[in-house]
Structure 1
Amino acid sequence: MRLEQLYHIVAIAQTGSISTAAERSYISQPALSSSVSKLEVELGILLFKRTNQGVQPTDVGQAVIQKAMEAIDLLEDIKALAEENTQAMTGSIHLAVEPFISNTIMVNALTTFKYRHPGVNVLMKVGESNNNLRDIAAGKADFGVVMKTCGQQEEKDLCIKELFRDRLVLLVSKDSELAGRRAVPLQEALAQPLVLYNTEFATDCWVSELLQKHGDYSVAYRLDSFPMLENVIGQNLCAAFAPKFMSDYFLNKGSIVPVDIADTELDVSIVLAWTKRHHLSLMEKEMMETIKSFSSMLQFIG
């Protein structure tokens, strides 16, 4: 039994896919399959079975994988002791981040983290939060920073760590008749033609899930480009809902004005999310702590 074989079976369990696990392990799919097959022969048991949902551990395989994760945890603790002295983290982190967060919190968080740990390669995908959660569940991202509706039921496979809470405001053009008002009623806001940020043609974005609880609304655009979203708002073609902590960012644009919602608090939660199947490495925990430190400056709602 070799240590890399333990990493391989944990990677398959986390992703539910041999091809994705091979990609994340930086080896070929045949090499990964061979590694697992040799381990199964050595142990005399079947670790995985193929289903319509992908590759799933057998009952005994799940028990072995749990022990493998515990062994990897111990190894990471040993590495941590060494890295406390060397301060030389290496490896890769795959992040899935909501665009409202990537344009604010992550700018400083990434700069600070890379300054401290130049040997770590950070790959960040920017996408709509519901889509990001699907990527996290599929093992395509190690963890994510996403928007969640307050009170929304959590998925049983997800670990959620709240960073802070906020509420939504309405973004309008400086030329809009609403721009001169401090606040507008929610129904008047919903009457505006809206632009929603969507990725990969999925329409179940977190904003629409929140708004549909409060009545009908009209969607003029669904865009996966944040600069284009800013452009159509600035040209007074539509309005959009965004978290209040982004107000300064949009005010600095000069063409967009945030307007409060007068009669309804559209509360949202900004969270870290990862699956219970994913073992958080030392560098991932360090990245999370860096994100948390910058998030603490943006607390609007207690």
Structure 2
Amino acid sequence: MFVTGTIVIHDRWMELQQMRYVIAVAETKNFTRAAERCLVVQSALSHQIARLERELGAKLFDRTSRRVQLTPAGEAFLPAARQSVEAAERARAEVTAAAGEIRGRLAIGAIPTVGAIDLAASLRDFRSLHPQVRISLRMGASGDLVDHVRQGALDVAFLGLAPGIQPTGVRRIELARGELVALVPAGHPLAEDREVDLRRLSGETFVDFPAGSGGRAQSDEAFAAAGIRREVAFEVMAVDFFARLIRQGLCIGLLPASVVSQFPDLCVVELLDPPTRVEHLVWSRRRPAPAAAAYLSGLGVAEEDLQSTPGS
């Protein structure tokens, strides 16, 4: 047997499926949702994790009626489990790619306001070329998405960040720069104005992304630079819910000009001193698996940019 950290592994095979179950529970923090993701009944998933814990001689999860979280042993086990599952899936994908067929998985992350490309159309085009690839999409905040790319949970991600902020530990290209505009309900006093400055908005109630997120940062920084305080009463992630709140006259919002055409019933007001955001496409510093490499190539990423970074 051998010892790694606090985990003791005996001389018997550890099943990849058990590792997939552990990863699913760690990411969802819920046994029921993990079982749904893995397309198994919860009892089967729980049984396999309990069996793995017996073989390891350590608990991987602390379970209560309210939450599930990794133990220190689980924290030590998770990165190796991810690497093992990824290596097995990549080996299978590399073999099929050598035979001329792209298989495997393509896990994409994206902010809710991607404007530089038509993300849904890009996935449709990719699926038509490579129907054997399993595609998944996760929407989230830029900071979380880039962490998932570094960890290998996502292959590529589309981010939106304030100018001057660059994602680290990943490869990236800049896709676009754009300005934010104000979105107000029909009949709002600002709806008659073609352009306003941020100071004119200071007395309004806002909807915005959660504090600390990349999507919020550019607006917060612009107001701070102008020496203006504002009230953000509604913090949400879904852009559609932005629009629903604005429609009800509860608030106004700032969104990239590239996405507001989705809401033709709302009024767009341009800003004289607008916040600016930069969209990035990021992927791992290691050479991407065949499916991810094919997707990135389809977006115009050069072959030399897909090579692994020395020492990564």
Q: In 2, distance between residues paired with 1:56 and 1:242?
A: 37
Structure 1 counterpart of 2:128, from 111, 115, 118: 115
Q: TM-score, normalised by structure 2?
A: 0.59
Q: How does 1:5-20 map to 2 (within 5 A)?
A: 5-20=18-33
Cα shift at 1:50: 0.1
Q: In 1, distance between residues paired with 2:262 and 2:29?
A: 44
For the 8 Å contact 2:93–2:289, the answer to whether it is kept is: no
With over 3 angstroms needed to count, the CA separation of the structure-2 counterparts of 1:123 and 1:40, relative to structure 1, is: closer
With over 3 angstroms needed to count, the CA separation of the structure-2 counterparts of 1:250 and 1:9, relative to structure 1, is: closer
Q: In 1, distance between residues paired with 2:212 and 2:76?
A: 36
With over 3 angstroms needed to count, the CA separation of the structure-2 counterparts of 1:153 and 1:89, relative to structure 1, is: closer
Aligned equivalent of 1:300:
none
For the 8 Å contact 1:40–1:46, the answer to whether it is kept is: yes
What SS does the corresponding residue of 1:187 show, helix, strand or coil?
helix
- Is 1:46 aligned to residue 58 of structure 2? yes
- Is 1:34 aligned to residue 43 of structure 2? no
Cα shift at 1:106: 0.8
Aligned equivalent of 1:185:
197
Cα shift at 1:170: 2.0
Structure 2 counterpart of 1:76, from 64, 89, 100: 89
With over 3 angstroms needed to count, the CA separation of the structure-2 counterparts of 1:78 and 1:97, relative to structure 1, is: closer
- Is 1:21 aligned to residue 21 of structure 2? no
- Is 1:56 aligned to residue 63 of structure 2? no
Aligned equivalent of 1:268:
277
Aligned equivalent of 2:181:
170
Cα shift at 1:112: 2.1
Cα shift at 1:109: 1.7
For the 8 Å contact 2:111–2:158, the answer to whether it is kept is: yes
For the 8 Å contact 2:102–2:290, the answer to whether it is kept is: no
For the 8 Å contact 1:169–1:261, the answer to whether it is kept is: no
The alignment yields a C-alpha RMSD, in angstroms, of: 5.1
With over 3 angstroms needed to count, the CA separation of the structure-2 counterparts of 1:267 and 1:220, relative to structure 1, is: same
CA offsets, 1:118-147, max 9 Å, x none? 2345454667x47986xx79x9x9575343
What residue identity is the alignment partner of 1:268? R
Structure 2, unpaired ranges of 5+: 1-12, 302-312
What residue identity is the alignment partner of 2:50? S
Cα shift at 1:31: 0.9
Aligned equivalent of 2:207:
196
Cα shift at 1:48: 0.7
* Higher RCO (CA-CA < 8 Å; seq separation 6+): 1
Structure 1 counterpart of 2:240, from 223, 226, 233: 226
Q: In 2, distance between residues paired with 1:121 and 1:97?
A: 17
With over 3 angstroms needed to count, the CA separation of the structure-2 counterparts of 1:240 and 1:164, relative to structure 1, is: same
Percent identity, aligned pairs only, is 17
Q: In 1, distance between residues paired with 2:250 and 2:30?
A: 43
Q: In 2, distance between residues paired with 1:103 and 1:14?
A: 28
Q: In 2, distance between residues paired with 1:116 and 1:282?
A: 13
Q: In 2, distance between residues paired with 1:28 and 1:274?
A: 33
Aligned equivalent of 1:89:
103
Structure 1, unpaired ranges of 5+: 294-302
